[in-house]
Structures are given as C-alpha cells and as structure tokens.
Amino acid sequence: MTPLRQEMIRQLELKRLSPNTHDAYLRAVEGLAKYYSRSPEKITNREIQDYLHYLQVNRQLAWSSCNVAACGLMFLYSWVLRRESLRVDLPPRIRPKSLPEVLSQEEVRRLFDAVSNPKHRALLMTTYSAGLRVSEVVNLKKTDIDSDRMTIRVTQGKGKKDRLTILSKLLLHELRAYWRIVRPPEWLFPGSDTNKAMVRGSAQKIYYTAKKAAGIRRSGGIHTLRHSFATHMLEDGVDSSLIQVMMGHSYIGTTAKYLHVSQRHMKNVKSPLDTLLADQTDS
C-alpha cells in the first residue's frame, strides 16, 4: 500500500465517513491513476477535469457515478494533498421521475419457491418481509433478531440511524430452520469468510439468480423487494406513517410515492367518466 493511499484512508477514518464511501472514493482515485498511468500527485487540475469529462462523455456514466468520482477526487486533493486550487464542474443533475419497480405478490412467491439454498432463501425473505436495504440485510447480526418482541433491529442504517422493523412469524420459522443447518457465528448472513458479513454484491447475485429461475422479467435488483414490501403493506391498509418508520424514511413523501404503484388502491378508484355515464353502463 502506498503512503498516499494510507494517508487517504486515515483522512476518511478521521472524517468518520461510511465504509461504502471509503470504497467509492478509493475506487475514484484508482480510476484516475490508472487512466493516466501515474501517481495522482503528478496529475494536473486540467487533467482531472478532462478525466471527469471522459467519464461523462466517452463512458457515458450516470450523473450519480460521475458525482461520486468527483467527490472522491476532491477529497483526495483537498484533504490529503491539500491542493486548494482544484475545482471540478459537473452539469446540474436532471432527476428522472420514474416509479419504483415492484413485484406482484405472486411473483414474490415464485421467487422464494425458486430458491432451494436455505441461506439464500432466508436472506431474500428477510429483505422482503422487513423492507430492508441490501446494505442493511447483509449487516444483520443474530442478536438483531428479537423473537420476544417480534422485531428486527437495523443498526446504523442510511443516515447512520438505528430503527426497528417487523419480524414476520413465517420469517422467524425460516430463520430458525436456516440457523439449525448453518449456525452462523455472528453475522446472520456471513460471506465466504464466516467471520465477515456477506458483501452486497453477493446478495445482488443471489437475487438475480432467483429472479431468473423464477422466470421474472422485471428489471431492478434486490432493492425491488424493499419497494415491494412498501407497496404490499399499503395495499393491505397499513398506515403510511408506520411504513415510513419501518423503512427508515426521513420524509413521508418518500413513502407516499408507493401509492402511485399500488394496484389495489387504483382498482378501488372510480374514473369520473364511469360516474358521469353511469346510466349508460348499467343499461
């Protein structure tokens, strides 16, 4: 490990940035160094801006990916190399207003039925039944499952907030069956090294494999299960403010977007045309 990388890791730790941010910023610096085949210390400000232009125009990366790269490089040059003259410019972000992808309840059943591995099945069921982010489900520990209160504790979720969400009776049965077979030492879903948590990429692969086996053609990764949880809860009549708490949303508006994809709510709404021409439709 180079002294520059060591110092960057030290500064990331001093700023108490999340492990995910650590990885993203280090990858950004690695990408820049590889592109120019030399140390970041010897790369000029103009070359840094040219590299970001390359990411946007030539590689056509998403705005969010370019922004992460820019933030990672700014961190290196501002806090590690102390290059105060650096300035990076990105075009303003245009946020597409797309609806979240959601599985039907029948598709969720097919997804679970397509998985025979107890660990993989338990992981997917936990993600869906508790509305968890992939980073949250892979970082669950055995002690986070409270069968007395029927809750799951999410430690340091998004925004570094702890919260409680529901523990399904069926999931508890599934987790106990899984535990009798695997008996994970600490992490509920350990990786290949049983002393470490599963990485998020592995959880994504588990979902994609199950989705393919179930013949589900909808787009989206494992986060689709979290979207499906919220939508199905709304369709079952659960109050949106309670769903907001369970999902860890800071704003109720974030939760309310699932009303737009709730089929059951749409089916219960009458078009004004049906009311206007009620006599004709009855005849």
Task: Give the C-alpha separation, 103 to 109, whole Å.
Answer: 10
Residue 269: per-residue pLDDT: 55
Domains of the chain: 3-80 (1.10.150.130), 105-267 (1.10.443.10)
Task: Give the C-alpha separation, 244 to 230, whole Å.
Answer: 9
What are the pLDDT digits (tens) for 69-126? Answer: 999 999 999 999 998 888 887 877 766 666 678 899 999 999 999 999 999 999 999 9
Residue 55, token pair as written in the block: 């990411």
Percent of the chain with pLDDT over 70: 85
What are the pLDDT digits (tens) for 110-157? Answer: 999 999 999 999 999 999 999 999 999 999 999 999 999 999 999 876
Catalytic positions: 133, 158, 223, 226, 249, 258
- Is residue 262 pLDDT above 90, yes or no? no
CA torsion angle 243 202 97 157 (round to 10) = 40
What are the pLDDT digits (tens) for 170-212? Answer: 999 999 999 999 999 899 999 999 999 999 999 999 999 999 9
